[in-house]
């Protein structure tokens, strides 16, 4: 489906891969109550099918054979499953579901990320799975997966869940990129030992030693990789690059596949850089006013396509349409308009050295620069990076996050339609490995990244090899401080905005809400009441206020934090659960969650969750709250609610944060520079400050007379 078609099609059409056939429904066990007898019969037939696969293989397992073994008529088997494909799909689903249920039960018991990784290994290689009967049946299915669409679906869903579980836990122990490749290796090794066992006719089928082998491998890799979290990123061993191939883009609210894209590899990046280098010279030579006109036209097109783009953003991110319609596209357009206005005024300065000489500086573009985006504000991030870059006369190659790559492609189309020469703004697609091709490319002069702290360190280390400039917009764990003289309704509104907007997936969120003791009880009560009124639901419903999280992997991470919050003694005021009722069943919805009685050393208070989870902490004095607010390695943002004018400015001056608000939270007008200090980042986006990050100065000395030479 083209992106055009996608962004215009009604919701039902998007669920292309989720259309249920009667066969699917049966395979899922969607029967009426009166069919309990039939259920038992179906289970029996599935079990017989697994036996048959183990004994006579795929070819020998026919409807007639199953009927013979079960002592029923072939017509009855056909009644339940349609044809052979339907029968096998039902059997495969049963195997996959049984395994998934066991994994879930073990995961629920595990107390640490390492324990959860072990749970996945143990269950997949458990004696009851790793035996001739089940193993041969699995292998029979694998042999057909490429030819039978239904089997492929089951296999893909199973693999995706396993990888997502593994990645989510590994990410808590090692940087994201290593987590991804280690998760893939573990999954591949599980498959590998099964295959070897089958080829040896189950002579090598020893569950215990297979488990021990894989466990030792994981231990070894974790030991090698874990120190890289604290060591300098430059010293980290590079994971094997994974480029090329395709990846699927999902709607996290439904699980539907929205698109399939190809990850760009070295050849594509090389070609993109060459195109950009050629195009950039002409673009820079156009002059600021002409560049500004193109940006202005692009902003108009963004506004003209607001609803269509908002819809696509909602489909891909799970954010409510009521947000994307008024914020995501509009703030992108505002950014283009702002830099369109500044483009003609980008200039150096004149310096007077007396009658015999003068000097001047030229503010010149850097050349080809790269933007790498996070998944939470895909279009806005692409605009925030590209608008100043292009206004200054650079060409930009932009890689969106693999989870949300669609609206950046739209922006590329819009820029072209607005008259931007080909090659000046190009979107490349892929995962971290594609990103690395940009960060390591010698002809790219700057990287602007929005992402996690660990990614920022890796990008900076890679950029060092060719001394690229970097702008890093990274994570945060920002304080929002409510003094007891604050206007309470506003403070509560600020806390809600700063925690639940975009389901809490906002880098600058004020997730540590410090409330002065005198007002604490009233604050929490108002917070509870207003949180209870929030409407969580279908992101495309205009009434929905809180949508889906970005992925199943992220959902697990957020739920893990909630579980640890409870385990570590925080009081759950409201929320704290995944929501699965009705239409939400296949999505990643978490109820807006408030924890009270939190302490500074709890995981939910120290680590970035990036979900709808707020921690309320009490404090007594101004000096105390400043010290506690600053006791974090992050420094992205901070907010203060008070009616005491002098205290507001005094406290803000003391807070270690790059972006601050007084009596508001999370408003980011494009005129105001945005960025962090400490581990939250380097450089600034927005405002005039961004122009400095996309230009370099050339100093020129001009002599007006003869040289007074001593030689
Ligand atoms: P990640 O750091 O996982 O990814 C960010 C981007 O970097 C993605 O496009 C990713 O590719 C790419 N990438 C990952 N590793 C490398 C590498 N080694 N070299 C080059 N590129 C790489 O962040 P998320 O997408 O998960 O976004 C969430 C994070 O972003 C949070 O920590 C949040 O706080 C932060 N953020 C910060 C903002 C700010 O302005 N300060 C604003 C918004 C978010 P891919 O994902 O495709 O593999």
Q: Ligand 1, from 432, 434, 460: best to mutate by most atoms within 8 Å of Cβ? A: 432
How many C-beta atoms lie closer than 10 Å to residue 111's C-beta?
10
Average pLDDT, the chain: 88
Report d(CA 398, CA 449) in Å as an integer: 10
pLDDT at 229: 34
Cα of 450 vs centre of ligand 1, distance in Å, is 5
Cα of 472 vs centre of ligand 1, distance in Å, is 10
Nearest atom (ligand 1) to Cα of 400: 9
Q: Are 617 and 515 in contact (CB under 8 A)?
A: yes
707 secondary structure, DSSP code: -
* Residue 449, token pair as written in the block: 């990244």
Is any atom of ligand 1 closer than 6 Å to the C-beta of 474?
yes
Report d(CA 16, CA 1) in Å as an integer: 10
Is any atom of ligand 1 closer than 6 Å to the C-beta of 398?
no
pLDDT at 77: 86
Report d(CA 59, CA 641) in Å as an integer: 71
pLDDT at 107 over 80: no
Report d(CA 256, CA 353) in Å as an integer: 67
**H or E stretch at 387:** helix 378-391
* Mean pLDDT of all residues in 244-258: 92
pLDDT at 257: 96
| Residues 6+ positions from 231 with CB-CB distance below 8 Å | none
Tens digits of per-residue pLDDT, 578-602?
999 999 999 999 999 999 999 999 9
**H or E stretch at 482:** strand 479-482
Residue 536, beta-bridge partner list: 546
Q: Ligand 1, from 455, 476, 679: best to mutate by most atoms within 8 Å of Cβ? A: 455
364 is annotated as an active-site residue:
no
**Nearest C-alpha neighbor of 61 from the set 39, 83, 40:** 83
Q: Are 94 and 87 in contact (CB under 8 A)?
A: no
Mean pLDDT is lowest, of 21-25, 265-269, 373-377, 497-501, for: 21-25
55 is annotated as an active-site residue:
no
Report d(CA 15, CA 317) in Å as an integer: 15
The better pLDDT of the pair 113, 655 is held by 655
Cα of 684 vs centre of ligand 1, distance in Å, is 16
pLDDT at 185 over 90: no
User: Nearest C-alpha to atom 22 of ligand 1 is from which residue?
Assistant: 432
SS3 category, 661: strand
Which among 89, 129, 505, 685 is annotated as catalytic? 685
Nearest atom (ligand 1) to Cα of 375: 25
The better pLDDT of the pair 474, 59 is held by 474
User: Nearest C-alpha to atom 17 of ligand 1 is from which residue?
Assistant: 432
Which among 313, 323, 452, 473 is annotated as catalytic? 473
* Mean pLDDT of all residues in 261-265: 96
Strands 469-473 and 512-516: unpaired
Sheet-wide strand order for 444-450: 425-427, 395-399, 368-372, 444-450, 469-473, 681-682
Mean pLDDT is lowest, of 85-99, 131-145, 302-316, for: 131-145
Report d(CA 702, CA 307) in Å as an integer: 54
pLDDT at 217: 80
The better pLDDT of the pair 211, 378 is held by 378
349 is annotated as an active-site residue:
no
pLDDT at 110: 63
pLDDT at 18 over 90: no
* Mean pLDDT of all residues in 215-222: 77
Report d(CA 614, CA 603) in Å as an integer: 12
Report d(CA 614, CA 510) in Å as an integer: 8
pLDDT at 2 over 90: no
pLDDT at 210 over 80: no
**Nearest C-alpha neighbor of 494 from the set 521, 514, 473:** 514
Report d(CA 606, CA 535) in Å as an integer: 28
Cα of 483 vs centre of ligand 1, distance in Å, is 34
The better pLDDT of the pair 156, 361 is held by 361
Q: At what angle do helices 63-70 and 74-81 cross, to 10 degrees?
A: 120
Is any atom of ligand 1 closer than 6 Å to the C-beta of 373?
yes
pLDDT bin (cut points 50, 70, 90) of residue 570 is: very high
Q: Ligand 1, from 233, 249, 452, 459: best to mutate by most atoms within 8 Å of Cβ? A: 452
Q: Are 372 and 448 in contact (CB under 8 A)?
A: yes
| Residues 6+ positions from 479 with CB-CB distance below 8 Å | 510, 512, 513, 514, 625, 628, 629, 632, 638, 639, 655, 657
pLDDT at 177: 74
* Mean pLDDT of all residues in 300-311: 98
Report d(CA 309, CA 320) in Å as an integer: 13
pLDDT bin (cut points 50, 70, 90) of residue 22 is: very low
Cα of 170 vs centre of ligand 1, distance in Å, is 17
Is any atom of ligand 1 closer than 6 Å to the C-beta of 439?
yes
Mean pLDDT is lowest, of 129-138, 465-474, 633-642, for: 129-138
pLDDT at 93: 84
Q: Are 16 and 42 in contact (CB under 8 A)?
A: no
Cα of 681 vs centre of ligand 1, distance in Å, is 12
Q: Are 490 and 663 in contact (CB under 8 A)?
A: yes
Give the number of C-alpha atoms closer than 13 A to the C-alpha of residue 538, restricted to the C-beta side: 8
Cα of 431 vs centre of ligand 1, distance in Å, is 10
Is any atom of ligand 1 closer than 6 Å to the C-beta of 320?
no
Is any atom of ligand 1 closer than 6 Å to the C-beta of 243?
no
Q: Are 2 and 406 in contact (CB under 8 A)?
A: no
* Mean pLDDT of all residues in 105-131: 75
201 is annotated as an active-site residue:
no
pLDDT at 244 over 80: no
Nearest atom (ligand 1) to Cα of 453: 32
Is pTM beyond 0.85 here? Answer: no
pLDDT bin (cut points 50, 70, 90) of residue 164 is: confident
Which among 23, 319, 385, 446 is annotated as catalytic? 385
pLDDT at 320 over 80: yes
């Amino acid at each position: 489906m083209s992106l055009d078609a996608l962004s215009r099609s009604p919701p039902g059409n998007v669920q292309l891969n989720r259309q249920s056939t009667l066969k699917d429904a049966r395979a899922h066990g969607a029967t009426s109550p009166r069919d309990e007898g039939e259920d038992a019969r179906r289970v029996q037939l599935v079990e017989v099918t697994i036996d048959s696969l183990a004994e006579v293989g795929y070819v020998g397992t026919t409807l007639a054979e199953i009927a013979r073994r079960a002592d029923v008529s072939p017509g009855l088997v056909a009644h339940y499953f349609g044809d052979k494909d339907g029968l096998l799909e039902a059997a495969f689903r049963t195997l996959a579901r049984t395994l998934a249920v066991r994994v879930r039960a073990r995961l629920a018991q595990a107390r640490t990320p390492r324990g959860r990784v072990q749970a996945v290994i143990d269950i997949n290689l458990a004696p009851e799975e790793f035996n001739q009967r089940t193993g041969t049946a699995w292998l029979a299915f694998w042999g057909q997966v490429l030819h039978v669409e239904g089997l492929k679906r089951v296999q893909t869903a199973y693999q995706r869940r396993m990888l997502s579980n593994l990645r989510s836990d590994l990410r808590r122990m090692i940087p994201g990129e290593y987590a991804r490749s280690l998760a893939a290796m573990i999954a591949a090794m599980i498959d590998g030992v099964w295959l070897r066992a089958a080829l040896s006719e189950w002579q090598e089928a020893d569950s215990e030693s297979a488990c021990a082998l894989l466990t030792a491998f994981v231990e070894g890799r974790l030991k090698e990789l874990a120190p890289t979290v604290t060591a300098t990123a430059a010293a980290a061993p590079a994971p094997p690059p994974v480029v090329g191939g395709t990846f699927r883009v999902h709607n996290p609210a439904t699980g539907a596949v929205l698109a399939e894209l190809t990850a760009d590899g070295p050849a594509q990046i090389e070609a993109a850089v060459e195109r950009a280098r050629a195009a950039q010279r002409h673009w820079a030579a156009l002059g600021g006013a002409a560049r500004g006109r193109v940006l202005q036209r692009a902003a108009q097109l963004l506004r003209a396509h607001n609803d269509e783009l908002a819809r696509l953003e909602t489909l891909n991110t799970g954010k409510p349409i009521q947000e994307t319609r008024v914020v995501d596209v509009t703030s992108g357009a505002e950014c283009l308009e702002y830099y369109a206005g500044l483009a003609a005024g980008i200039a150096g300065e004149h310096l007077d050295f007396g009658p015999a000489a003068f000097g001047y500086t030229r503010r010149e573009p850097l050349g080809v620069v790269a933007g790498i985006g996070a998944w939470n504000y895909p279009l806005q991030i692409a605009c925030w990076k590209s608008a100043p870059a292009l206004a200054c006369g650079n060409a930009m190659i932009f890689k969106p996050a693999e989870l949300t790559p669609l609206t950046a492609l739209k922006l590329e189309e819009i820029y072209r339609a607005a008259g931007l020469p080909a090659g000046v703004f190009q979107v490349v697609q892929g995962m971290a490995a594609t990103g690395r091709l940009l960060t390591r490319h010698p002809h790219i002069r700057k990287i602007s990244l929005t992402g996690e702290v660990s990614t920022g360190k890796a990008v900076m280390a890679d950029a060092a090899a060719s001394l690229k400039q970097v702008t890093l917009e990274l994570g945060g764990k920002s304080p929002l401080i409510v003094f007891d003289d604050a206007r309470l309704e506003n403070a509560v509104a600020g806390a809600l905005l700063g925690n639940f907007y975009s389901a809490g997936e906002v880098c600058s969120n004020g997730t540590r809400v410090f409330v002065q003791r005198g007002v604490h009880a009233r604050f929490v009560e108002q917070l509870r009441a207003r949180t209870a009124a929030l409407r969580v639901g279908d992101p495309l419903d205009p009434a929905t206020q809180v949508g889906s999280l970005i992925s199943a992997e992220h959902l697990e991470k957020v739920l893990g934090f909630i579980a640890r919050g409870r385990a570590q003694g925080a009081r759950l005021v409201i929320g704290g659960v995944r929501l699965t009722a009705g239409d939400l069943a296949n999505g990643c919805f978490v109820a807006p969650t408030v924890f009270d009685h939190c302490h500074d050393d709890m995981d939910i208070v120290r680590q970035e969750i990036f979900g709808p989870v707020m921690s309320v902490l009490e404090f007594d004095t101004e000096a105390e709250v400043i010290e506690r607010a600053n006791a974090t390695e992050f420094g992205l943002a901070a907010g203060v609610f008070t009616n005491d004018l002098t205290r507001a400015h005094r406290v803000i001056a003391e807070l270690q944060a790059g972006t601050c608000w007084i009596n508001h939270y999370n408003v980011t007008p494009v005129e105001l520079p945005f960025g962090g200090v400490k581990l939250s980042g380097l450089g600034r986006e927005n405002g005039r400050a961004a122009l400095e990050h996309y230009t370099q100065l050339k100093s020129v000395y001009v002599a007006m007379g003869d040289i007074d030479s001593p030689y």
